[in-house]
Amino acid sequence: MDAKQSSRRAFLGAGAFAGAALTACSAPDATPPEAATAPSLLGAPVRRYGERSPHETVARGVRDSQTPEAASSRTPLDETYGIITPSALHFERHHAGVPDIDPTAHKLLIHGLVERPMMFTLSDLKRMPSVSRVHFVECSGNSGGEWSAKGAPTVRLSHGLASCSEWTGVPLRVLLDEVGVKPEAKWLLAEGDDACRMQRSVMIEKALDDAIVAYGQNGEALRPEQGYPVRLVLPGWEGNTNVKWLRRIKLTEGPQFTKDETSKYTELMEDGEAWIFTFEMDAKSVITAPSGGHAIGGPGYHEVTGLAWSGRGKITSVEVSTDGGANWSEASLQQPVYSRAFTRFRLPWNWDGSECVLLSRCRDDTGYVQPTRQELIAQRGRYSAYHCNRIKGWRIAADGSVSNAEA
């Protein structure tokens, strides 16, 4: 038990929940539940591939759209646990729908400024040296609505375009060693096998650092909406550079300025200049519970929990304020903390029943601190739709209902 757990235990104390804090936590009579519930009939037999309970209805957030193939669905961050996002709830963002790809026919071509252009089947890739690492993927448009003064009413809407998985695949540098990158190759073009042929330009330094050509997600094959059978994983970089349904990597001298990096995914500054190739996702945190739309019941003990992540490395601390920013307490971080991955934070909290605002603020191992909206606007203006990592607040009303602090 580390120091944080110890202090948490002291915070709770013996019998902390014995009073009114827990609605149903009353002392029962001595009758064990055998007397109350008759033994059931035999349950369901073993089966080959499991499914969740029919009582569970947690789902990705999907908005009505005339073009559901060029749309997004959002992870219900307030109803997921730990740091692994269930693959079935991993957010989606695609521009031409999810292709149905036969894995035995799919090939990955690596060509351009290389000594030996090569084509890799999926079984080729699976024979090669592999790595498994836990990383988040976040759409660069995640929290885009938070640039505005009002912000989104729920954490799904404000932050649900981010998810975290254990990815398995071949380090891209192994493949690049194989084809032999020519000295003049400083970038590469990654292209997807969806109908719109998503294309992004990537610097060679990232490709040789920690990029993965991934075929596994949370222990099994990639899910179709995350790029089955093979995708690029560029840890910490904006989501759409992690090209899904990867079919081609072309080594080039410079970036290609494709439609997917000029018409979209650029950031307009106040002076009319646009930033391009803003790859790294800045450190961000958000409280997932309690969060907008929740009703926390009465005063007493509540756990404040949420997620933090940084595209530049490890989260080193998350502070939580329960009084709108006047005072901050350090939350405990779920161990071990991975680089460029969701980091779960938790803080015990005794709510006194009065209206208040909860905030979280993270720091990463580069020393970067998550900014307020005002600080972010001072740096980047008000016109960007991307890379918004402002501090987000949730207001707890006296009746226990939770809403966007700026609504």
Within 137-166, the residues that bind a copy of itself by CB under 8 A are 166
Pick the piece of the chain touching a copy of itself (CB under 8 A) from 99-107, 146-154, 375-383, 385-393. Answer: 99-107
The reply on whether position 352 binds a copy of itself by CB under 8 A is: no
* Binders in 23-42 for a copy of itself, by CB under 8 A: 23-28, 30, 32-34, 37, 39-42
List the one residue out of 165, 218, 214, 168 whose CA is nearest residue 190: 214
- Closer residue to a copy of itself in complex, CB, 72/154: 72
The reply on whether position 99 binds a copy of itself by CB under 8 A is: yes
* Binders in 103-132 for a copy of itself, by CB under 8 A: 103, 107, 109, 111, 116-121, 123-124, 127-132
Cα distances from 96 to residues 68, 242, 352, in angstroms, run: 9, 16, 50
Q: Are strands 107-112 and 246-252 parallel, antiparallel or unpaired?
A: parallel
The reply on whether position 183 binds a copy of itself by CB under 8 A is: no
Binder among 17, 182, 253, 262 for a copy of itself (CB under 8 A): 17
Binder among 89, 185, 213, 233 for a copy of itself (CB under 8 A): 89
- Closer residue to a copy of itself in complex, CB, 365/406: 365
Strands of 315-321's sheet in order across? 329-330, 315-321, 356-364, 393-396, 402-404
Binder among 344, 361, 363, 373 for a copy of itself (CB under 8 A): 344
The reply on whether position 78 binds a copy of itself by CB under 8 A is: no
CB of 251 to a copy of itself, least distance (A): 13
- CA-to-CA distance for 100 and 343, rounded, in angstroms? 33
Binder among 7, 182, 195, 375 for a copy of itself (CB under 8 A): 195
CB of 169 to a copy of itself, least distance (A): 9
Q: SS3 for 304?
A: strand
**Cα-based angle 268, 227, 113 (whole degrees, multiple of 5):** 75
The reply on whether position 187 binds a copy of itself by CB under 8 A is: no
| Total site size for a copy of itself, rule CB under 8 A | 123
Neighbours of 96 (CB within 10 A): 14
Say if CB 149 and CB 209 are below 8 A apart: no
Say if CB 328 and CB 319 are below 8 A apart: yes
Pick the piece of the chain touching a copy of itself (CB under 8 A) from 71-79, 141-149, 153-161, 276-284. Answer: 71-79
Binder among 44, 149, 184, 352 for a copy of itself (CB under 8 A): 44
Pick the piece of the chain touching a copy of itself (CB under 8 A) from 74-82, 272-280, 355-363, 398-406. Answer: 74-82
CB of 81 to a copy of itself, least distance (A): 3
The amino acid at 253: E
**DSSP structure string for 340-381:** TS-EEEEEEEEE-SS-EEEEEEEEETT--BPPPHHHHHHHH-
- Closer residue to a copy of itself in complex, CB, 346/390: 346
Pick the piece of the chain touching a copy of itself (CB under 8 A) from 323-331, 334-342, 372-380, 390-398. Answer: 334-342
* Binders in 215-274 for a copy of itself, by CB under 8 A: 215-216, 218-221, 223-225, 228-229, 247-248, 250
The reply on whether position 373 binds a copy of itself by CB under 8 A is: no
E-strand spans in 143-271?
Answer: 162-171, 187-192, 199-203, 212-217, 220-221, 231-233, 246-252, 267-268
The reply on whether position 201 binds a copy of itself by CB under 8 A is: no
- Closer residue to a copy of itself in complex, CB, 57/379: 57
Long-range contacts of 254-259, Cβ-Cβ distance < 8 Å, separation of 24 or more: 254/186, 254/187, 254/201, 255/187, 255/201, 256/187, 256/189, 256/199, 256/201, 257/201, 258/189, 258/199, 258/200, 258/201, 259/199
List the one residue out of 351, 290, 285, 348 whose CA is nearest residue 143: 285
